[in-house]
Amino acid sequence: MRSWFGKRGPQITPEWIVLGLGNPGAEYAHTRHNIGFDVIDILASRHRIRLNLHRDHARYGLGKIADIPVLLAKPMTYMNRSGEAARALLQRYPLETARLLVIVDDVALPTGRIRIRPSGSDGGHNGLASLIQCVGTQAFPRVRVGIGNPPPGQMVEYVLSRFLPQEQPIIEEALQRAADAVEVTIAEGVQAAMNRFNAQNTAQTPGKG
């Protein structure tokens, strides 16, 4: 029988690790590349999960979503070393990588589009590349959030930029839907979330940006 309380308070053994990718530091807050951090903040607020643990190259908290024990985490390593946090957390809380749910920005999708995949390549994303290298497999699900396509030769500047004013309503809705997608994945499984959210495709592309 699982013990929920220990000498230092609640002791939760997570059944899912939800890892939102991004860069630590105020200068990167709410940039396109930090979509994962923003979704983690929404989930933490919805489910009253405090991100009060600072170890394993991450800031994270333990709690429940749909009565299922989860761990919400933000790597504190910068994007291109995100896998170090994933590896350390999986060592501390041994789970199959099918229970490592990653939230990531995607330049291949229009701004606001949500796409859920059970596995896949890194698609040129440095954070995903680090994850795949560190955990040794591509077989982990991810919630991809479209941030639009950068102008030629401006990838770095683009992903580290903030959304334009006309994009804000679209991305704010997308962040909420991405959090919804995480909740459905945990409660009902990856396939159920794919069926529900991949078919919505309600994103818009408001001019250039």
Q: Which position has the higher pLDDT, 4 or 60?
A: 60
Whose tokens are 């396939």? That residue is 191
Task: Say how far apart CA 110 and CA 96 lie, in whole Å.
Answer: 31
All residues at 6 or more sequence positions from 48 whose CB lies less than 8 Å from its CB, including other chains: 63
- Mean pLDDT of all residues in the chain? 91
Q: Read off the pLDDT of residues 76-96 as tens digits, 9 standing for 90 and up.
A: 999 999 999 999 999 999 999
List, for residues 192-202, the tens digit of each pLDDT value. Answer: 999 999 987 65
Query: Can you give the pLDDT at residue 104?
Result: 98
Higher pLDDT, 208 or 13: 13
- The yes-or-no verdict on residue 5 having pLDDT over 60 is no
* Residue 145 dihedral angles phi and psi, to the nearest 5°: -120, 120
Buried b (16+ CB within 10 A) or exposed e, 67-90: eebbbbbbbbbbbebbbbbbbbbb
pLDDT, position 11: 73
Could you tell me how many residues make up the chain?
A: 209
Architecture of the domain spanning 5-198: 3-Layer(aba) Sandwich (3.40)
Are residues 19 and 101 in contact, defined by beta-carbon separation less than 8 angstroms? Answer: yes
pLDDT bracket for residue 10 (50, 70, 90): low
pLDDT digits (tens, 9 = 90+) for 159-177: 999 999 999 999 999 999 9
pLDDT for position 202: 53
143 band by pLDDT with thresholds 50, 70 and 90:
very high
Catalytic positions, please?
33
